[in-house]
Structure 1
Amino acid sequence: MLVRMAPPLPLIFFLLMIHGVSSADWSVSYSPSHICALKDSTVTMRCTYTYPTGHQIMKVFWMKTLIKYNGEFPDLSEDPEYSQRLQYLGDKQQNCTIRLSHVTLKDSHKYYFRFITDKPDGSWIGKSGVNLSVTDLQVESPERVTEGDSVTLRCKSSCALTDRATFIWYRNSQPLTERRDRNNELLLQSVRREDSGRYSCAVDGHTHISPEVQLNVTYPPKSISVSISPSGVIVEGDSVTLNCISDSNPPAEIKWFKGRTFVGSGRIYNISKISSDDSGEYMCKSKNEHGEKYSDTVTLNVMYPPRSVSVLISGSGVIVEGDSVTLNCISDSNPPALNFSWIKGGTIVGSGRIYSISKISSDDSGEYKCKSINEHGEKYSDTVTLNVMYPPRNVSVLMSGSGVIVEGDSVTLNCISDSNPPALNVSWFKENETSAVGSGQSFSALQSGRFYCQAHNQHGSQRSAAVTVTGEAFINSLLYLHIIHQFGELIMMIFLFQFIMLLVGM
């Protein structure tokens, strides 16, 4: 059989008993006769044999069955499953020790040594054999524990290992640097969330590591926070996502609040086409079976262009010439608008939130509006009208005709004035007389003299200059009518003669 070099430091477990088989001078002894080995370890099966003198050893080999195949016992070194792992360490005199490496669970079996001499019937089998049990390490752990509990993990196998065995523990495939083992136990006192993970164990000096077992440490929500996307400036119309970040086990139920009002649930709270009404303080609440916790508040500050722009007139009552008037541009925007323009008609007349007019005059009457601007847009207010009141001024009298009174007729005088509101109270006076001779916008003069009007509104009054109405033409006209009456018949005869002459000439 093929002899190979043995790997260093073979592990031999538990000597249970030493049993020898002999008949006269024929014998095979196994030490130990029962071996418990870890999966993937190397096992040494120690063996000695004797035979009568005068015999020469021709062949030695190991086998795992006492049944012949094709008239022969199968040589283990010729079995493909063993040939690369089996090393014969003995000789052809009395040592029959072998070494089996990388043992598997399938290697659990009883093994026998057989030797053959040069004499007829000079062969022997050690039928007591070596019983090999291959075990796998298993971690025994509770599936779920709560933070603060004490937990014991056990590294177990199907057969007892030596008391001298030293156990190594791994979490997430990394060896635990702090030794907290007691024999084959790992004690976690006051377990923390950081203790969650995949645990496995091994025996010092051996490469085999047990299958991993998940330790699940449950705990109430902690480290609750809210992230905002996008993280920059939020403008009205944007889509905004709030994400509740919660560390808890099991995963927590999430609820969202704006102020004290519940607005949604789920880890993500999305606002599509955000408006200024969505501005405010938000927080999330994380809750599982072990407790609940609120996040700190985050503020959504939604930017938007000016809107609801209006003009407020200080002293919204009657504005009288000479008053001081202030126009205030009221604007709803975020950030607040700092750029304002004032327009009268189509002309820019000022800037700033407030437009002041000291000692206002009628020339300041008209329609005003303001324009509010921030970095997100601009908007005009509706127009407001400044209607400046003032007493009558530039009062004058307008005469119809020449101002000469003709018999049977009169001269009409009109009182012209500039005032706001229009002067509807007009009085007429004849110069040097204290009593009014008439009222109303127009006055009919029936006699000669100097006349003037006085216009009144609620803000004051003013009199016009006097105009002269003469009666001289009236006297001359009477004389002219008398002469026509005296010579009327003569004139008529002359007129009739001229008419007859005209007819004859035709």
Structure 2
Amino acid sequence: MLLWLQLMLCGGPLAQVLSYQLELQESVTVQEGLCVHVPCKFSYPWLAFIGSHMFWFQKGADVDHDPPVATNIPSQKLHERTQGRFFLRGNPQAQDCSLDIIEVNMGDSGTYFFQIGKYSYLDNMLSLNVTALTHTPDILIPRTLESSHPRNLTCSVPWACEQGMAPIFSWTSAALTSPGPRTHLSSVLILSPRPQDHGTNLTCQVYFPAADVMVGRTIQLNVTYAPQNTAIRIFQGNRTVLETLQNTSSILILEGQALQLLCAADSNPPAELSWFRGSPALNATPIYRSPILDLPQVGTAEEGDFTCRAQNSLGSQHVSLHLSVACKSEPRTSGVLGAVGGAGSMALLFLCLCLIFRVKTRRKKAAQPVQSMDMSPDDSSDSGAHQDQSWMDFPEDHPAPAEASPISREEQELHYAFLQFPKLKPREQESINTEYSEIKTHK
């Protein structure tokens, strides 16, 4: 019997009944502005009368004169710093000494001890560590943001505590917005997205006035919209020739030149870009499925309309360009010029020869050689009837010779012609040259 009593007193249930004990988490860390619940259980000797008044004091306080930070006595004056934020809601009959702290601030860091009646549990104290608030709000977008379709966006702080002053929510966005319903820990924003809102920032900030701290979160809006501002850019080499946003645009290209057409459109999701000849029909097959259409050598076959179509799941848009091809004129070569010049020279020479021949013919008719006629006796009977006469026409400055003698063909008068052709110069394309020939005659 004595041995059993010793075991009970040394460490058994009886020892626990006869001593003061506290079950408490010795160190607790909480972020600024939040709330914390610290579980606590106490025990005391069963023969002791402790009463029902419970207190929490900060380490170093004089329990007889300094106010506690928390108590279960409603009329008890509390420490000014913890008034309305520290709560001792435990039941002494249940031996519950749990402590609730709301809207924790940096000044709450420190060590605290529990007291019931006149007994203070100084062997087990609570160490409270307050750190900066690192939590950020949650922004919830229920569905995809589509242009011209309003959506409700919710900003919430589920990690904050329900007690205390309500946090203040604020929204910042370039989009069209209007306020929606709110709760203690959330706020709703009605957003009417537009294509220009895609990629812009939306920010939700939450201010905790009791702790004087603010946190926020920023997201980028992902707004979907049909293709718009579809355009065709025309390149020749490394330079841009034309950019068209209208279906009436046209361009004139010299035959044989290279051309590059680049199609671009503003859309989300990105549009599929396709090229068509003429206007794209409902089930038309594109000639090319790429933003870039290369025309390495433009000819008359490429003349007409080229249409780019931009299409995504929300719609389509197309833009056309009319291409006109100017035919290239053939350059005149030196061989052609020589042939033309030679033909002209031959024609001129032929005309000169004809002129000389005509002059000589007229002179030969005017100056015939003297012919000798033998008058035979048989013809003398007819001489009286008529007599042939022979004559020659000499120039006045040359007297007639004493005796006329027959003139041979070799002694006929000679006429000379001197032809002088200026040297032909090759003429340039599209220019007209006049060719001259000089004719000089010498007797």
Q: Is TM-score (shorter-chain normalized) higher than 0.5?
A: no
TM-score (norm 1): 0.38
Higher relative contact order (CA 8 A, sep 6+): 2
Greater share of strand: 1
Greater share of helix: 2
